[in-house]
């Protein structure tokens, strides 16, 4: 019980005390009048005490299921539906109470207990005051769960998720999510809408920056790591928050890479490519799911019973709850699936969507739908039971203000340990694409260094997209990072990349005409020994609603690069971007290319750590980089055609004007050292545990990390399998000349696949194996099982 909560008072004790305090000379009638008044006051105080605190505090002798059932039995239908309603923050709690319009309605719903969750309300003061309205004024005092898009950090930003995925380092990714959770919980939040586990093969889609790339195996491992990081071992701890696997399902396969577009895929792709990362989050005990905006095979996913009830809550036995995406239940109307908002509400809840985010469909229509018989109340009960269970697990009934600690908020936000963790994450996310002539690493006493690029001193773009709580211009810039290693260098900004200030809600206005800065940059390049050019996308050029058809380096940047190259070819290209780009000219002409993505708060420090060799780059691409947009969607785990091989005639599967292969393949990434693979061995004596081993040696002169990757092919199967599939990887550190024997165990989990009935099968026969440093290069062998 909170210290400021009035205690329950015994009416008898209250009266006895009053009588003893009265003067004995009082007349009997006067005493009786006072006693009657006192009795009334006591009863009023008892009533106030009973409604100013949650009546549903967790009892140690009872299970959460028992507590939920008891609370559910006390709830009116309106209160039940209220738990399924999520509102966006709608007023400033330091200002007056809203008295008219939509805000007044929402405020009244809070007071009545007709709201189960709020999003975009954060900060201890804000959260506490909103929570107080519900806990102390509604009939049952059921606490709210506060949600926010904590994608890759709260105030302290880690690299964008696609960049983190390039680390192939599950421990560091988990730690990154822990940092995000600790800061989010410190400001009163209980729930993040992350991780996004959508597999995507199309770099045109802006939201690839939020995911783990094109591969379901790598995506599954990363999904589990991020859920573990957010939720920890104890969801009620004040440094953990509930995670949310999204977008269920198929959002990453939007046609043409155009956001919110239709997805139409077969069961083979759905079961074996799209769903595995979602199922993996169940293994990690994720507590919530989010559906999405898209159609999947003709049905809006938030109205898809097969996805949400048959698979998620049925086959997978998921016991958390499902929330819609922003306003998406209402979007069933323009999709052509629902006649009006009431129809959309009915279809969504029947399909298994438990909470409505900001569409107001449930709170407006579900009570009447139940009373008319259009929706069974048992479906409402099921949804509310799931929501209440997660609230109990978060400890909100024991203390609705457990996440509201000003001291914790002040001490944890931007903590030095958090900055150190995201700096390590950032360094491990960098991928060395090319290093001819060994221009990298640089030395601190190297002379004649010139840095060019509008992004080099930018402190905002490196934060990336989906950094809603980060302070603008708070990232360490590349120049600030270089300053930690040397000060004797020259910086020339060159032309602007964008024309105006950028924000989350609008497209970036790219500069395509103003060449001011060209002459100074080219002149400086003629005098330099080595040129570092920092180019790429602005952080707000990727993310939601930011699909692109041209994936080249935007604006005037490539033209500047070519002009500088003409006078000085000793260029180190530092690429900042939120997705794979087309880099044909760059790859052919620039000797050194460093893919640094958008790395968050410690961006510049991490980039400088790699540039100067304090950290040897170890990242590997989680997505294939195309040669042309015309190749998209592009992915390594494709199927063979009936005409896969080149012949003199045109009748084979190819493009007439471009190669089939990517420019940089999935799993690719170089190091400042080199690695040699040898002695590939397979032991298939136990068909339930095939042992594959390989020897890896560091053949260079500095220590380095290598991601050893195992790929499998089932060359003859009932349902055709891809030409290769990632089925294992290990990240190892080797000193110069050190060797290590790396072993993988292949079980039915790695050898099988889902058939058309969504049943896991393993077929006998031959399997091909490749073990190497990326999806193209490696040692090969095969084995058979009966």
How far is residue 123's CA from residue 331's CA, in Å, rounded to a whole number? 31
Give, in degrees to the nearest 5, the angle at Cα 369 between 367 and 373: 120
Please name the helix (run of DSSP H) or strand (run of DSSP E) that holds residue 725, with its range, or none: strand 725-734
3-state SS, one letter per residue, for 397-423 = CCCCCCCCCHHHHHHHCCCHHHHHHHH
For the chain, how far is it from start to end, CA to CA, in angstroms?
64
* Helix-, strand-, coil-residue percentages of the chain, each rounded to 5: 35, 15, 45
Cα angle, residue 520 at apex, residues 516 and 521 outer, rounded to 5°: 95
Q: What is the CB-side half-sphere exposure of residue 492 using CA atoms within 13 A?
A: 22
Element at 40 (helix H, strand E): helix 28-51
The whole-angstrom separation of Cα 191 and Cα 288 is: 9
Supply the DSSP string of 231-299, one letter for each residue: H-S-TTSTT--B-EEB-TTTGGG-GGG-TT--B---HHHIIIIISHHHHHHHHTT--EEE--SSEETTE
Active-site residue flag, 325: yes
Distance CA 500, CA 506 (A): 11
Check if the beta carbon of residue 130 is closer than 8 Å to that of residue 97: no
Q: By the 8 A CB rule, do 652 and 646 touch?
A: yes
Contacts of 197 (CB under 8 A, 6+ apart): 211, 212, 219, 220, 222, 223, 245, 246, 277, 278, 280, 281
CA pair distance 31, 21, nearest whole angstrom? 11
Closest of 229, 244, 196, 183 to residue 601, by C-alpha: 183
> From the candidates 149, 202, 259, 325, which is the catalytic residue?
325
Q: Which residue, 50, 60, 73, 64, is CA-closest to 388?
A: 64
Within 416-515, strands assigned E span: 431-435, 449-452, 490-492
| Residue 485, token pair as written in the block | 């290693």
For residue 585, report the phi and psi dihedrals to the nearest 5 degrees. Answer: -65, -45
Rg (CA), the chain: 30
Residue count of the chain:
786
> What ranges in 352-457 are assigned the alpha helix state H?
361-371, 377-393, 406-412, 416-429
Catalytic residue list: 325
């Amino acid at each position: 019980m909170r210290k400021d909560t009035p205690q329950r008072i015994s009416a008898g004790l209250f009266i006895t005390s009053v009588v003893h305090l009265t003067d004995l000379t009082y007349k009997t009638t006067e005493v009786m009048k006072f006693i009657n008044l006192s009795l009334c006051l006591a009863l009023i105080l008892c009533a106030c005490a009973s409604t100013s605190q949650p009546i549903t505090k967790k009892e140690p002798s009872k299970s959460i299921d028992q507590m939920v059932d008891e609370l559910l039995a006390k709830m009116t239908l309106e209160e039940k539906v209220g738990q399924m309603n999520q509102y966006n923050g709608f007023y400033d709690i330091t200002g007056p109470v809203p008295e008219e319009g939509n805000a007044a309605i929402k405020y009244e719903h809070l007071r009545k207990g007709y709201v189960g969750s709020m999003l975009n309300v954060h900060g201890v003061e804000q959260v506490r005051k909103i929570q107080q309205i519900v806990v102390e004024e509604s009939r049952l005092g059921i606490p709210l769960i506060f949600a926010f898009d904590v994608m890759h950090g709260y105030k302290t930003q880690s690299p964008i998720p696609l960049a983190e995925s390039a680390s192939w380092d599950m421990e560091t990714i988990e730690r990154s999510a822990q940092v995000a959770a600790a800061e989010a919980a410190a400001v009163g939040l209980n729930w993040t809408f992350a991780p996004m586990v959508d597999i995507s093969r199309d770099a045109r889609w802006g939201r690839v920056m939020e995911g783990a790339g094109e591969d379901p195996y790598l995506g599954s491992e990363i999904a589990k790591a991020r859920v573990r990081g957010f939720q920890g071992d104890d969801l009620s701890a004040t440094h953990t928050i509930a995670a949310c696997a999204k977008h269920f399902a198929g959002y990453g396969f939007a046609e043409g890479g155009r956001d919110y577009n239709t997805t139409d895929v077969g069961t083979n792709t759905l079961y074996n490519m799209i769903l595995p990362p979602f199922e993996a989050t169940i293994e990690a005990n994720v507590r919530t799911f989010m559906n999405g905006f898209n159609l999947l095979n003709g049905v809006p996913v938030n109205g898809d019973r097969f996805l949400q009830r048959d698979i998620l809550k049925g086959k997978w036995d998921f016991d958390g709850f499902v929330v819609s995406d922003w306003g998406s239940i209402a979007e069933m109307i323009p999709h052509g699936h629902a006649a009006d908002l009431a129809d959309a509400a009915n279809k969504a809840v029947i399909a298994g969507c438990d909470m409505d985010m900001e569409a107001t469909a449930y709170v407006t229509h579900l009570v009447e739908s139940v009373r008319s018989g259009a929706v069974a109340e048992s479906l409402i009960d099921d949804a509310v039971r799931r929501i209440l269970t997660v609230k109990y697990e978060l400890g909100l009934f024991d203390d609705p203000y457990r996440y509201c600690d000003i001291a914790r908020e002040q001490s944890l936000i931007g903590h030095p340990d958090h900055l150190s963790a995201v700096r390590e994450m950032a360094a491990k996310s960098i991928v060395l694409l090319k290093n001819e002539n060994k221009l990298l690493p640089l030395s601190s006493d190297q002379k004649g260094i010139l840095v060019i690029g509008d992004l080099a001193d930018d402190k905002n773009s490196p934060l990336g997209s989906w950094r809603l709580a980060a302070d603008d211009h708070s990232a360490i810039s590349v120049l600030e990072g270089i300053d930690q290693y040397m000060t004797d260098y020259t910086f020339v900004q060159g032309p602007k990349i964008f024309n105006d200030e950028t924000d989350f809600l609008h497209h970036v206005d790219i500069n395509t005409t103003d060449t001011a800065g060209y002459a100074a940059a080219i002149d400086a390049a003629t005098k330099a020994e080595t040129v570092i050019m920092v180019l790429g996308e602005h952080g707000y050029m990727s993310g939601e609603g930011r699909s692109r058809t041209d994936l080249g380096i935007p604006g005037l940047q490539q033209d500047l690069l070519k002009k500088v190259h003409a006078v000085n070819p000793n260029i180190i290209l530092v690429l900042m971007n939120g997705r794979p780009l087309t880099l044909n000219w760059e790859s052919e002409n620039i000797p050194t290319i460093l893919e640094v993505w958008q790395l968050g708060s410690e961006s510049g420090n991490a980039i400088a750590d790699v540039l100067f060799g304090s950290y040897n780059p170890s990242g590997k691409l989680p997505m294939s980089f195309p040669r042309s947009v015309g190749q998209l969607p592009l992915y390594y785990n494709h199927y063979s055609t009936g005409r896969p091989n080149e012949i003199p005639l045109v009748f084979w599967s190819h493009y007439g004007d471009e190669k089939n292969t990517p420019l940089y393949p999935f799993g690719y990434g170089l190091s400042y050292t080199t690695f040699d693979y040898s002695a590939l061995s397979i032991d298939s004596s136990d068909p339930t545990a095939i042992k594959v081993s390989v020897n890896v040696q560091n053949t260079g002169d500095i220590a380095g990390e290598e991601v050893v990757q195992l790929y499998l092919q089932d060359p003859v199967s009932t349902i055709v399998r891809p030409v290769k599939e990632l089925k294992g990887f290990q990240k190892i550190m080797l000193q110069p000349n050190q060797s290590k024997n790396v072993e993988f165990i292949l079980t039915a989990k790695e050898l099988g696949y889902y058939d058309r009935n969504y049943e896991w099968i393993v077929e006998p026969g031959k399997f091909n194996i490749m073990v190497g440093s990326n999806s193209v290069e490696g040692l090969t062998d095969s084995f058979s099982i009966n």
